[in-house]
């Protein structure tokens, strides 16, 4: 692992700390061929983003907007029919650099779990249902922590304690724990090696509201404590509002807006984001809300130009022909819309 990272280029010095993750112009398509019928689904089409150290970057978007494909591609866990067609994904850990699609499988395997770990939606896919939880810790972490057994268990126990879990859970079977508890154990498992980067894919979607809040607080706390970066994906905007520092909104395989979470919720700029935030029902708010007309685009045959234009209230002729680039319009904020420019934003603010 160290060899792989040391071989990479030296980190460039800048005033801001260099990002831990840099994704540029990433394109990942599902390419299938069944009995002569070829299909190409452009699930991720030209996405660029970066995640700074000690930051929670949220990725929001509706079903089949490509967000799950994007994080699969970032984590390097793709397999056919999903193929990376262009662009790059680079991680920067402890002074070394690693490109997911250039450095080779061995280098990627070396950083998994130690530097890069995952929290998934179904805890059962991580925890072996027929073995006690302690075995899962040995399977995933023992090799990476590389300490003798007693020291290893001491580290695990300390870690569980920090996360307010009783060490007794180690002797339980996964089915003996409630859903929320299992998800907490999964989080403990994903963070015990103190990874620099954590990818979380809808980790609380299957949980009840009461439990969800606790699990989110736990994720927040452990991220603070480790100082890791977190890429957090969910379709639930309320979760993003409560957890993330920065937020990227995806629509039909592209990033349409990006900025600090608070700013986006206070003043959404892209028409899609504006609609999403305005349509969120709240307890105590009786104002009638409007749904968004039209239907999400088919990624096998997306509309030309801006993919949102058929449903957009601000659509102009140019939107039908050209794809709007994701451009900075205000400090820290980028929007992909011809109707939103730095002038219009500044004009609206004054």
The residue ranges of DSSP E strands in the chain, in sequence order, are 21-34, 37-51, 56-60, 82-93, 96-99, 116-119, 197-201, 229-233, 246-251, 254-260, 327-330, 333-335
In terms of Cα–Cα distance, which of 231, 198, 269, 265 is closest to 59? 231
Does position 315 bind another protein by CB under 8 A? no
One residue of 18, 48, 81, 167 binding another protein per CB under 8 A: 81
243 binds another protein (CB under 8 A): yes
Name the one range near another protein by CB under 8 A: 83-91, 102-110, 187-195, 284-292. 284-292
Tell me the C-alpha distance between 272 and 147, whole Å. 50
List of long-range contacts for 207-212, beta carbons under 8 Å, 24+ apart: 207/179, 207/180, 207/183, 208/179, 208/180, 211/178, 211/179, 211/180, 211/183, 212/180, 212/239
Of 34 and 150, the one with the shorter C-beta distance to another protein is 34
Here's the x/- map for another protein, 88-107, by CB under 8 A: it reads as --------------------
Q: Which of 7, 146, 238, 348 binds another protein (CB under 8 A)?
A: 238
- CB closer to another protein out of 103 and 121: 121
Minimum CB separation of residue 232 from another protein in Å reads 12
109 in contact with another protein (CB under 8 A): no
Nearer to another protein, 102 or 225 (CB): 225
Q: List residues bridging with 37 in a β-sheet.
A: 34
Told to check if 135 binds another protein by CB under 8 A, we report no
User: Taking the complex as a whole, how short is the minimal distance between the CB of residue 236 and another protein, in angstroms?
Assistant: 8
Cβ neighbours of 197 (radius 10 Å): 22
The binder of another protein chosen from 104, 262, 304, 328 (CB under 8 A): 262
Is 177 a residue that touches another protein (CB under 8 A)? yes
Residues between 192 and 211 with contacts to another protein, criterion CB under 8 A: 208-211
């Amino acid at each position: 692992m160290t060899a792989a990272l040391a071989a990479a280029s030296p980190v460039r010095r800048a005033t801001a700390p260099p990002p831990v993750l840099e994704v540029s112009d990433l394109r990942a398509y599902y390419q299938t061929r069944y009995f002569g019928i070829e299909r190409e689904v452009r699930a991720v089409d030209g996405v660029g983003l970066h995640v700074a150290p000690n930051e929670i970057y949220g990725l929001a978007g509706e079903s089949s907007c490509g967000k799950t494909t994007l994080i699969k591609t970032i984590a390097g866990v793709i397999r056919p029919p999903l193929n990376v067609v262009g662009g790059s994904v680079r991680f920067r850990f402890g002074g070394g650099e690693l490109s997911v699609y250039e450095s080779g499988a061995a280098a990627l395997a070396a950083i998994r779990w130690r530097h890069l770990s995952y929290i998934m939606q179904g805890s059962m896919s991580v925890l072996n249902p027929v073995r006690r939880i302690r075995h899962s810790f040995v399977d995933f972490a023992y090799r990476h922590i590389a300490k003798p057994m007693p020291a290893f268990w001491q580290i695990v126990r300390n870690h569980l304690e920090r996360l307010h879990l009783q060490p007794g859970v180690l002797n339980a079977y996964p089915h003996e724990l409630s859903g929320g508890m299992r998800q907490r154990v999964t989080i403990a498992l994903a963070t015990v090696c103190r990874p620099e980067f954590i990818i979380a894919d809808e980790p609380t979607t299957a949980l009840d509201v009461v439990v969800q809040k606790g699990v989110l607080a736990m994720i927040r706390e452990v991220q603070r404590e480790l100082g890791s970066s977190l890429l957090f994906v969910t379709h639930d905007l309320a979760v993003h509002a409560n957890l993330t520092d920065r937020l990227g909104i995806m629509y039909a395989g592209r990033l349409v807006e990006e900025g600090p979470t608070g700013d986006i919720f206070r003043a959404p700029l892209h028409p899609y984001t504006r609609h999403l935030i305005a349509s969120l029902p709240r307890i105590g708010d009786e104002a009638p809300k409007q749904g968004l007309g039209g239907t999400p685009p088919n990624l096998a045959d997306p509309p030309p130009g801006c993919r949102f234009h058929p449903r957009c209230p601000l659509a102009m002729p140019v939107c039908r022909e050209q794809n709007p680039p994701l451009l900075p319009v205000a400090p820290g904020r980028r929007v992909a819309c011809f109707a939103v420019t730095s002038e219009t934003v500044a004009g609206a603010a004054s």
